[in-house]
A = this chain, B = another copy of it.
Amino acid sequence: MKTRDMVIHASLELFNEHGERTITTNHIAAHLGISPGNLYYHFANKQDIIQEIFSLFEKHINENIKPSEEKEFHAGSMMAYLDAAFVALWKFRFFYVNLHDILLKDDQLKKRYLKLQQSTTHSISQILQQMVNAGLLCIPAEDVERLADTIRILMGSWIGHKLVQSNQKEIKPSELFDGVSRMILIIKPYATEASSAMFSQMESRYQSLIAEDGAALNAI
Contacts and interface: CB of A to CB of B under 8 A. Distances in A.
Interface stretch (A27-35, A123-131, A183-191): A183-191
A2 interface: no
A101 B103 contact: no
Interface stretch (A49-57, A84-92, A150-158): A150-158
Task: Give the size category of A's interface with B.
Answer: 20 to 34
Contact of A21 (B21, B156, B163, B190): B21
A67 interface: no
Copies of this subunit: 4
A140 to B, nearest CB: 9
B150 A161 contact: no
A143 interface: yes
Given A19-B101, A154-B157, 10 more contacts: A97-B100, A98-B98, A98-B100, A98-B101, A114-B165, A117-B165, A150-B185, A153-B158, A153-B161, A156-B157
